[in-house]
């Protein structure tokens, strides 16, 4: 039984410690918590939002969960 190549891509957000566990090796998007906190405070208390797009700034941490099977 021939099986065509397939690509498995699983990604998480926030890059929690468990993502790096050897059992999971979850590729994750690590958002800068300082920017998220600042943006949340501005939205909740000051009723303003940043034009900088704080929610979009971060870093992709590539681990084993994205590899070709």
pTM recorded for the entire structure: 0.60
Residue 19: CB atoms within 10 A of its CB come to 20
pLDDT at 68 over 60: no
Per cent of the chain over pLDDT 90 is: 3
Average pLDDT over residues 3-16: 74
User: What is the total residue count of the chain?
Assistant: 69
pLDDT at residue 64, as a whole number: 85
Rounded to whole angstroms, what are the CA distances from 17 to 13, 25, 36, 53? 11, 10, 18, 25
pLDDT at residue 56, as a whole number: 72
pLDDT at residue 15, as a whole number: 87
pLDDT at residue 5, as a whole number: 66
């Amino acid at each position: 039984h021939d099986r065509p190549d397939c690509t498995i891509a699983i990604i998480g957000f926030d890059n929690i410690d468990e993502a790096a566990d050897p059992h999971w090796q979850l590729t994750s998007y690590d958002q800068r918590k300082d920017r998220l906190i600042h943006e949340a405070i501005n939205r909740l208390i000051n009723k303003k939002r940043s034009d900088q797009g704080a929610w979009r700034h971060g870093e992709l941490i590539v681990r084993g969960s994205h590899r070709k099977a």
